[in-house]
């Protein structure tokens, strides 16, 4: 029920109670004299119940027992209401019930409230004020509202106002739906790819993959993905001052820009997960500053379709909708450090300055996305597209020290003959590298070394053999791995030169 209809219904109930009380007091006799007395008694009861004068006139005018000239009806009611010292005193219903109805009428007449789904808080604005924006309800606001109510004769305290505001009488408001559901028709111009073209790059994948990412972003806002989240993250890589961060911020329309952030702390996992619900777009500015150990957690966030967390001052864990999409910026080329893969990162190298003069028609930009989604366009990557992204991202991957040493010490040999040696697991190879490089590696590095071997096409399970021979005064270690298959063996050969 809308706010205006709900208020009218509440006043109507008060009016009917006042009318019933008047009938019981005056009686059911017919005649003009009785009707006049009934009208006066009705007006008195409505006055005591706190029903506004105009509402009494409105409801009495449609009552068959009070059919008369409107001027006479108004005069009778108005004369009763001149006794304003009785206004709101001695209600015709229990005091508590009367207070609830009057509080409801007061709240809807003086204020507009809404519960912001993304922020998780109630917002308000005063009616007939010069402020069109909504503001959060704070303790100061609760106290002010209770003072305004008391100034009108209502015995309301801040606890009563708080009980009303944090009830289901406050309608739910989703700012993303409010914006996307009120867009104009798409003008058939390609605004999304035109926005992608403002980024100067030689990448042949950028234009189409950005289009898919943008559709995925809007689909995430509209909760179209189900159990799958928008897990693609565009990464703009370029020099300082080329406009990367500004371009990312300008992806959001001004009316939704409060749901954009470039501040996320991956060290606080709970807060980082809650930001998936609180914001619509998260920019990981200076991507390489998040640290190698936290890129795995980032990939976990990217694929997370919902948030299971406990909000501040709440006692239970709730499943919250995930709205946020991700974008990122970086100044350095070697920014990817996770050896398990990079298909979620759409890295693009910027070759110049981003075009800041491009005018963004936000309504048409998002209207195009809504039209594409409604007509069933794909907003996710295919396996082939993921492979092409992974291949393109090789130039953006960090090469760990242990991998550099492995590539320095080992290289394939021709499959001629067989060397005699002993079996070595990956940990032993790491130990040999550590002895020859005189570097210290952590247990985490040793545990991850197997993934580096697989990234260099050394399959698992693999066992290594090595043999020392003398070669021009230098020590050369022959090493080969052997993988046992159902039908024989496959052998590849590597050598390592000690330093």
SS (H, E, C) 56-81: HHHHHHCCHHHCCCHHHHHHHHHHHH
5-14, 26-35, 128-137, 166-175: least confident range: 26-35
Give every strand in the sheet of 412-413, ordered side by side. 412-413, 488-497, 474-485, 463-471
The mean per-residue pLDDT over the stretch 280-305 comes to 88
Confidence of residue 360 (pLDDT cuts 50, 70, 90): very high
pLDDT at 180: 98
pLDDT at residue 465 greater than cutoff 70: no
Is the per-residue pLDDT at 478 higher than 60?
A: no
Among 166, 149, 37, 60, which Cα is nearest to 103's?
Answer: 149
59-75 confidence digits (pLDDT tens)? 888 876 776 677 788 78
Per-residue confidence band for 395, with pLDDT thresholds at 50, 70 and 90: confident
Domain match, 81 and 41 both: yes
Residues 306, 239 within the same domain: yes
Beta bridge partners, 336, equal 397
Q: Are residues 104 and 79 in the same domain?
A: no
Helices (H), 152-205: 158-165, 175-180, 191-196
Which has more confidence, 319 or 413? 319
Distance from C-alpha of 259 to C-alpha of 180, rounded to nearest angstrom: 14
**Number of separate domains in the chain:** 4
Q: Which of 173, 199, 230 is the last residue of a domain?
A: 173
Same domain, residue pair 168 and 206: no
Q: Is residue 499 within 8 Å of residue 432, measured between CB atoms? A: no
Q: What domain range includes position 38?
A: 3-86
Same domain, 352 and 247: yes
pLDDT digits (tens, 9 = 90+) for 327-343: 999 998 888 877 667 89
Q: What is the pLDDT of residues 436-464, one digit of tens each?
A: 777 777 766 666 666 666 666 554 544 44
181 within some domain: no
Report phi then psi at 418, rounded to 5: -135, 135
pLDDT in tens, 82-108: 766 555 555 556 778 778 888 888 898
Show Cβ contacts of residue 320 under 8 Å, excluding neighbours closer than 6 positions: 274, 276, 277, 306, 307, 308, 309, 311
Q: Please, where are the H alpha helices in 51-172? A: 53-61, 70-81, 95-110, 139-151, 158-165
Shared domain check, 333 and 428: no
Give domain status of residue 185, yes or no. Answer: no
Alpha helices in 375-425 (DSSP H): 383-392, 401-409
User: In degrees rounded to 5, what are phi and psi of residue 111?
Assistant: -140, 160
Distance between CA 171 and CA 494 in Å, rounded? 69
Residue 179 lies in a domain: no
Percent of the chain with pLDDT over 70: 75
Same domain, 371 and 290: yes
pLDDT computed for residue 98 by the predictor: 79
As a whole number of angstroms, the distance between CA 260 and CA 433 comes to: 46
Q: Does 157 share its domain with 296?
A: no
- Sequence-ordered list of residues with C-beta below 8 angstroms from that of 321, at least 6 positions apart, any chain: 117, 223, 277, 306, 307
The answer to whether residues 281 and 343 belong to one domain is yes
């Amino acid at each position: 029920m809308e706010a205006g209809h709900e208020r009218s219904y509440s006043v109507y109930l008060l009016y009917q109670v006042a009318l019933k009380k008047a009938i019981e007091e005056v009686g059911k006799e017919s005649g003009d004299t009785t009707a006049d007395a009934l009208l006066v008694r009705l007006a008195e009861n409505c006055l005591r119940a706190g029903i506004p004068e105009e509402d009494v006139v409105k409801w009495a005018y449609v009552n068959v027992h009070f059919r008369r000239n409107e001027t006479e009806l108004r005069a009778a009611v108005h004369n009763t209401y001149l006794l304003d010292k009785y206004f709101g005193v001695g209600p015709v219903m229990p005091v508590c019930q009367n207070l609830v109805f009057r509080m409801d009428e007061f709240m809807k007449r003086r204020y507009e409230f809404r519960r912001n789904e993304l922020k998780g808080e109630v917002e308000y604005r005063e009616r007939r004020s010069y402020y069109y924006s909504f503001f959060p309800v704070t303790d100061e606001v609760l106290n002010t509202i209770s003072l305004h109510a008391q100034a009108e004769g209502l015995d309301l305290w801040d606890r009563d106002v708080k009980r009303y505001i944090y009830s289901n009488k406050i309608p739910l408001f989703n700012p993303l739906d409010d914006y996307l559901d009120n867009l104009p028709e798409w003008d058939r111009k390609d605004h999304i790819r035109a926005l992608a073209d403002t980024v100067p790059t030689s990448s042949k994948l950028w234009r189409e993959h950005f289009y898919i990412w943008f559709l995925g972003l809007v689909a995430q806002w509209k909760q179209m993905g189900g159990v799958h989240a928008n897990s693609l993250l565009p990464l703009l890589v370029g020099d300082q001052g080329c406009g990367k961060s500004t371009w990312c911020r300008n992806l959001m329309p001004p009316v939704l820009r409060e749901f954009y952030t470039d501040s996320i702390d991956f060290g606080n996992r709970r807060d980082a997960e809650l930001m998936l619900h609180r914001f619509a777009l998260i920019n990981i500015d200076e991507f390489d500053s998040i640290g190698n150990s936290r890129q795995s957690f980032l990939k976990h966030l990217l694929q997370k379709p919902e948030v299971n967390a406990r909000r501040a001052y709440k006692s239970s864990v709730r499943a919250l909708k995930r709205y946020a999409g991700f974008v990122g910026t970086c100044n350095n080329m070697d920014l990817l450090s996770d050896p398990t893969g990079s298909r979620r990162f759409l890295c693009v190298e910027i070759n110049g300055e981003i075009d800041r003069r491009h005018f963004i028609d936000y309504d048409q930009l998002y209207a195009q996305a809504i039209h594409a989604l409604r007509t069933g366009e794909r907003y996710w990557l295919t396996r082939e597209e993921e492979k092409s992204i992974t291949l393109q991202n090789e130039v953006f991957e960090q090469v760990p020290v242990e991998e550099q040493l492995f590539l320095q010490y080992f290289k394939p040999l021709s499959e001629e003959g067989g060397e005699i040696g002993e079996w070595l697991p990956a940990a032993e190879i790491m130990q040999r590298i550590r002895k020859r490089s005189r570097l210290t590696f952590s247990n985490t590095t040793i545990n991850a070394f197997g993934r580096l071997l697989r990234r260099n096409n050394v399959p698992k399970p693999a066992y290594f053999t090595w043999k020392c021979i003398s070669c021009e005064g230098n020590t050369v270690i022959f090493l080969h791995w052997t993988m046992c298959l159902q039908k024989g063996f496959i052998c590849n050969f590597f050598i390592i030169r000690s330093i």
